[in-house]
């Protein structure tokens, strides 16, 4: 297993190098580094500007993206082409987000399946990974501009509750932006590091991290011992944040001035103006007792006491979440040693007071709450770069490990740089009715197609009882022990049949070969992503055709003549599209077929339709 860093830019092996820390946030993102001279973490900013880059992507009519402050101006002007909160879509299917679909002002494709969501802008389709990669690319470019040096390596933070798919999606976004993602770190862990917690080897502590941002709230309870952070519990509300505080002030003023929602709906610009005034008031009240302004000739004012009355129920909600997080961690408030505040909204004094009262001790708020996560990511990056000699790096996997899925795609189970020992499991399913065996092919490497990676082993899981496609649940498990030996197990969960194999992942690979594989993955990232998107669209298209065909032959009587004709036409159009190298065309034909088939599929409530599309198939 590798312990040394490889400089991809120069091709040299070295111990010390610049790795940036990135906080890829729902509302704002930023980059931080350890300053080479002061050795202190700093957020990068262009002269006289904010370090925060709004996590917003706007596409012009030709599909060219712009990111950040410029894109933000289009939120109201061009809502269908202005993508905000892409982080909320990472690793999610439409089913995961459908209850909140109204939140997104742009078009999230409703395909009624469990495959990953896509966003439609004009005639282009984007995955949340691509959208996030635009943000990361902008951050990378800014950092390079400020630092006057190429930036190719990063530590990126994610919420503690992100699952495996969401973490992998974040890694992929980094790769697509031309970044070698050295480590994915939990946001609360990063925030704790920024306060120096966990940096001493013998430190033991229990920490609560309270993170109230622009649109989301979460609280995490962490335990540090021997320099290792463990997340004991998380809780929160993914639709509660500073925006709700602004809305409370807006409503207060609307009531006072007899303004209705209807009035505002008719005057988009007025509504936007009022929202900005409300946010200004909120920020002002963090350090003053009253706020007063002119709005179209009217005086709007609010006192701190009034504001605190308005937001008391919202703060109480966050405190309830803290209580639940403690209960899940099987702890009481007095067992928490340190409370760390994260997110711009924790600047509100009433928030700090409520949190401090709940835990019975003062909170840590000395580090800028907007920057604290990125600063911690920079500290983690510095440790990985080998600059912090007090820290021993744990053994890591030098290349990603995964298996082949439909269409020859690489599905990574253990990402490169994962700490070992480790164990990861993921479920797969079959793609043909009655499929009795499944070939598990294990690969090592960073490319999207297995043909470009290195095959390590292969075996057949046989004896799967005959079931319709999509029904078997095959759990594939990768276990890597402390010596770097990989054991791959596959088990069909309904029948219990299982099979396993042992591999030595790095066998026969020199450092130079590992390095070459990394270089290839970065140079080919864009093309790989295009190919992967095309293969995935084709696989999805083929599955939908198969399922629709099966459905129609079974349920013909439920369909009207015109439905049958329309469906046949849409199927034919999709079939044609599958022969071309155009994923946007395939996606739009899938979408058209879905539009036509949705009403009768719902009518028949056929489980097979949704059931057969669950999970990746092999
Ligand atoms: P974040 O997602 O962490 O960037 O949080 C941004 C949120 O913090 C927005 O809702 C801002 O309005 C809010 N915010 C920024 N500064 C202040 C302040 N001084 N007082 C209260 N809220 C603030």
Residue 251 has pLDDT above 60, yes or no: yes
Residue 392 DSSP code: P
Residue 502 has pLDDT above 60, yes or no: yes
Residue 2 has pLDDT above 60, yes or no: no
pLDDT level of residue 442 (50, 70, 90 thresholds): very high
Instruction: Kindly report the protein residue whose alpha carbon is nearest to atom 18 of ligand 1.
Output: 283
**Annotated catalytic residue 23:** yes
End-to-end CA distance of the chain: 29
> Which atom of ligand 1 is least distant from the CA of 370?
3
Residue 140 has pLDDT above 70, yes or no: yes
Q: Cα dist. 334→208, 339, 352, 358, 547 in Å?
A: 11, 11, 17, 10, 56
- From the candidates 23, 130, 243, 448, which is the catalytic residue? 23
pLDDT given for residue 504 in this prediction: 66
> Which atom of ligand 1 is least distant from the CA of 343?
3
* Spatial CB neighbours of 16, under 8 Å, sequence gap ≥ 6: 5, 385, 386, 387
Listed ranges 57-61, 164-168, 233-237, 457-461; the one with the highest mean pLDDT: 57-61
**Annotated catalytic residue 211:** yes
pLDDT given for residue 230 in this prediction: 82
> Which atom of ligand 1 is least distant from the CA of 285?
20
> Which atom of ligand 1 is least distant from the CA of 211?
3
Q: Mean per-residue pLDDT for 117-130?
A: 94
Instruction: Kindly report the protein residue whose alpha carbon is nearest to atom 7 of ligand 1.
Output: 214
Quick: pLDDT tens for 334-377: 999 999 999 999 999 999 999 999 999 999 999 999 999 999 99
Tell me how far the alpha carbon of residue 232 lies from the centroid of ligand 1, in angstroms: 27
pLDDT given for residue 202 in this prediction: 79
Q: Mean per-residue pLDDT for 325-339?
A: 96
**Chain mean position to CA 339:** 25
Most informative mutation of 215, 246, 282, 350 for ligand 1 (most atoms within 8 A of CB): 282
pLDDT given for residue 482 in this prediction: 67
Q: Could you check whether 242-309 and 527-613 share the same CATH topology?
A: no
pLDDT given for residue 488 in this prediction: 92
φ, ψ dihedrals at 419, nearest 5°: -70, 145
Report the DSSP beta bridge partners of residue 263: none
Tell me how far the alpha carbon of residue 373 lies from the centroid of ligand 1, in angstroms: 14
**Annotated catalytic residue 328:** no
β-pair type (119-121, 124-126): antiparallel
- Considering the segment(s) 242-309 as one domain, its CATH architecture is Alpha-Beta Complex (3.90)
pLDDT level of residue 518 (50, 70, 90 thresholds): confident
Distance CA 32, CA 595 (A): 45
pLDDT given for residue 521 in this prediction: 87
User: What does 108-156 look like in DSSP terms, one character per residue?
Assistant: E----SSSBP-EEETTEEE-HHHHHHHHHHHHHHHHHHHHTS---EEEE
Q: Which segments within 466-577 are labelled E, that is strand? A: 474-480, 486-492, 498-503
Residue 11 has pLDDT above 50, yes or no: no
Pair 581, 534: CB distance under 8 Å? yes
pLDDT level of residue 15 (50, 70, 90 thresholds): very low
pLDDT given for residue 383 in this prediction: 86
* Spatial CB neighbours of 224, under 8 Å, sequence gap ≥ 6: 192, 197, 198, 203, 204, 205, 207, 230
User: What does 397-432 look like in DSSP terms, one character per residue?
Assistant: -SS-EEEEEGGGEEEEEE-TT-BSSEEEEEEEE-SS
Residue 76 has pLDDT above 60, yes or no: yes
pLDDT level of residue 559 (50, 70, 90 thresholds): confident
Listed ranges 2-11, 165-174, 241-250, 458-467; the one with the highest mean pLDDT: 241-250
Tell me how far the alpha carbon of residue 344 lies from the centroid of ligand 1, in angstroms: 3
Residue 225 DSSP code: E
Residue 86 DSSP code: G
> What kind of fold does domain 401-519 have according to CATH?
Substrate Binding Domain Of DNAk; Chain A, domain 1 (2.60.34)
Length of the chain: 618
From 310, 308, 272, 274, select the one nearest 294 (Cα to Cα).
Answer: 274
pLDDT given for residue 3 in this prediction: 36
Place of tokens 């370090």: 51
Supply the angle between the helices 164-176 and 128-147 in degrees, to the nearest 10.
50
Find the range with the poorest average confidence among 105-114, 183-192, 374-383, 565-574: 105-114
Tell me how far the alpha carbon of residue 348 lies from the centroid of ligand 1, in angstroms: 9
Q: Cα dist. 296→278, 450, 554 in Å?
A: 14, 62, 64
pLDDT given for residue 203 in this prediction: 84
Average pLDDT, the chain: 88
203 by Cβ neighbours in 10 Å (0-12 / 13-18 / 19+) ranks as: middle
pLDDT given for residue 506 in this prediction: 54
Quick: pLDDT tens for 258-312: 888 787 777 777 777 888 899 999 999 999 999 999 988 889 999 999 999 999 9
Residue 10 has pLDDT above 60, yes or no: no
Quick: pLDDT tens for 41-61: 999 998 889 999 999 999 999
Tell me how far the alpha carbon of residue 239 lies from the centroid of ligand 1, in angstroms: 15
pLDDT level of residue 491 (50, 70, 90 thresholds): very high
Distance CA 198, CA 517 (A): 34
Residue 92 has pLDDT above 80, yes or no: yes
Site residues for ligand 1, CB cut-off 6 Å: 25, 27-28, 213-214, 241-243, 279, 282-283, 286, 343-345, 347-348, 370
Q: Mean per-residue pLDDT for 384-412?
A: 79
What is the SS3 assignment for 217? strand
**CATH for the 209-238+322-366 domain, from 1.10.10.10, 3.30.450.90, 3.30.420.40, 2.102.10.10:** 3.30.420.40
**Annotated catalytic residue 304:** no
Pair 79, 106: CB distance under 8 Å? yes
Quick: pLDDT tens for 525-548: 889 989 999 999 999 999 899 889
pLDDT given for residue 483 in this prediction: 65
What number of other Cβ atoms are within 10 A of residue 365's Cβ? 20
> Which atom of ligand 1 is least distant from the CA of 27?
2
Q: Mean per-residue pLDDT for 554-574?
A: 90
pTM of structure: 0.76
- From the candidates 111, 130, 187, 446, which is the catalytic residue? 187
Tell me how far the alpha carbon of residue 241 lies from the centroid of ligand 1, in angstroms: 9
pLDDT given for residue 456 in this prediction: 85
Q: Which two tokens stand for residue 595?
A: 């539009």
Residue 610 has pLDDT above 70, yes or no: no
pLDDT level of residue 507 (50, 70, 90 thresholds): low
Residue 68 has pLDDT above 80, yes or no: yes
9-18 contact pairs (CB < 8 A, 24+):
9/150, 9/152, 11/515, 11/519, 13/511, 13/515, 15/385, 15/386, 16/385, 16/386, 16/387, 17/153, 17/385, 18/147, 18/149, 18/151, 18/153, 18/385
Q: Mean per-residue pLDDT for 84-107?
A: 89
Most informative mutation of 56, 190, 344 for ligand 1 (most atoms within 8 A of CB): 344
User: What does 300-359 look like in DSSP terms, one character per residue?
Assistant: EEEEHHHHHHHHHHHHHHHHHHHHHHHHHTT--GGG--EEEEESGGGGSHHHHHHHHHHH
Tell me how far the alpha carbon of residue 248 lies from the centroid of ligand 1, in angstroms: 15
Residue 110 has pLDDT above 70, yes or no: yes
Distance CA 552, CA 542 (A): 15
Residue 608 has pLDDT above 70, yes or no: no
User: Which sequence spans correspond to the domains of the chain?
Assistant: 5-195+373-381, 209-238+322-366, 242-309, 401-519, 527-613
Find the range with the poorest average confidence among 204-208, 315-319, 382-386, 418-422: 418-422
Distance CA 270, CA 268 (A): 5
**CATH for the 527-613 domain, from 1.20.1270.10, 1.10.1500.10, 1.10.357.10, 3.30.1130.10:** 1.20.1270.10
> What kind of fold does domain 5-195+373-381 have according to CATH?
Nucleotidyltransferase; domain 5 (3.30.420)
């Amino acid at each position: 297993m590798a312990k040394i860093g490889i400089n991809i830019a120069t091709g040299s092996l070295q111990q010390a190098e610049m790795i940036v820390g990135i906080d890829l946030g729902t509302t704002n993102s930023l980059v931080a580094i350890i300053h080479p001279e002061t050795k202190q973490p700093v957020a990068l900013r262009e002269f006289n500007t904010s370090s925060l880059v709004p996590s917003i992507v706007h596409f012009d009519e030709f599909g060219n993206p712009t990111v950040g402050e410029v894109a933000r101006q289009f939120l109201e002007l061009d809502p269908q082409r202005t993508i905000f909160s892409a982080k909320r879509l990472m690793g999610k299917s439409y089913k995961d987000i459908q209850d909140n679909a109204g939140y997104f002002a742009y078009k999230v494709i409703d395909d009624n399946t469990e495959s990953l969501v896509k966003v439609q802008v004009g005639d282009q389709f984007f995955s949340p990974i691509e959208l996030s990669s635009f943000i990361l690319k902008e951050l990378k470019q800014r950092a390079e501009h400020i630092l006057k040096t190429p930036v190719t390596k990063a530590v990126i933070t994610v919420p503690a509750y992100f699952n495996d798919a969401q973490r992998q999606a974040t890694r992929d976004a980094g790769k697509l932006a031309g970044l070698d993602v050295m480590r994915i770190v939990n946001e609360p862990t990063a925030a704790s590091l920024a306060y120096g917690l966990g940096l001493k080897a013998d430190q033991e502590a229990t920490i609560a991290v309270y993170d109230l941002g622009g649109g989301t709230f979460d609280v995490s309870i962490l335990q540090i011992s021997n320099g290792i952070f463990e997340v004991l519990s998380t809780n929160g509300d993914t639709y509660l944040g500073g925006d709700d505080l602004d809305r409370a002030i807006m409503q207060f003023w609307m009531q006072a001035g007899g303004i209705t929602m209807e009035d505002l709906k008719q005057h988009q610009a007025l509504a936007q103006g009022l929202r900005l005034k409300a946010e200004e008031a909120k920020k002002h009240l963090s350090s003053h007792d009253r706020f007063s302004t002119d709005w179209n000739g009217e005086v709007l004012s609010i006192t701190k006491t009034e504001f605190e009355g308005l937001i008391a129920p919202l703060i109480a909600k966050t405190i309830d979440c803290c209580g639940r997080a403690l209960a899940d961690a099987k702890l009481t408030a007095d067992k928490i040693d340190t409370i760390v505040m994260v997110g711009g909204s924790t600047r509100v004094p009433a928030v700090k007071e409520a949190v401090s009262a709940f835990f019975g001790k003062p909170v840590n708020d000395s580090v800028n709450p907007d920057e604290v996560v990125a600063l911690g990511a920079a500290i983690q990056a510095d440790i990985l770069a080998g600059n912090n000699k007090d820290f021993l790096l744990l053994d890591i996997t030098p290349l990603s490990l995964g298996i082949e899925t439909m269409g020859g795609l690489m599905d990574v189970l253990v990402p490169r740089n994962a700490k070992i020992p480790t164990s990861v499991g993921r479920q797969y399913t079959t793609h043909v009715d009655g499929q009795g065996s499944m070939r598990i092919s294990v690969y090592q490497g960073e490319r999207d197609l297995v043909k470009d990676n290195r095959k390590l082993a292969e075996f057949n899981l046989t004896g799967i009882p005959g079931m319709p496609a999509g029904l078997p649940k095959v759990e594939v498990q990768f276990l890597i022990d402390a010596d770097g030996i990989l054991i791959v197990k596959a088990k069909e969960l309904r029948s219990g049949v299982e099979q396993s194999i042992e591999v030595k992942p790095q066998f026969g690979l020199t450092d130079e070969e590992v390095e070459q594989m990394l270089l290839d993955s970065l140079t080919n990232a864009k093309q790989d992503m295009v190919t992967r998107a095309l293969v995935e669209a084709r696989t999805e298209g083929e599955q939908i055709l198969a399922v629709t065909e099966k459905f129609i032959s079974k349920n013909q009587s439920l369909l009207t003549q015109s439905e049958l004709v329309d469906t046949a036409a849409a199927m034919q159009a999709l079939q044609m599209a599958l022969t071309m190298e155009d994923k946007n065309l395939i996606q739009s034909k899938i979408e058209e077929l879905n539009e036509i088939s949705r009403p009768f599929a719902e009518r028949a409530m056929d489980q097979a339709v949704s059931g057969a599309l669950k999970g990746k198939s092999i």
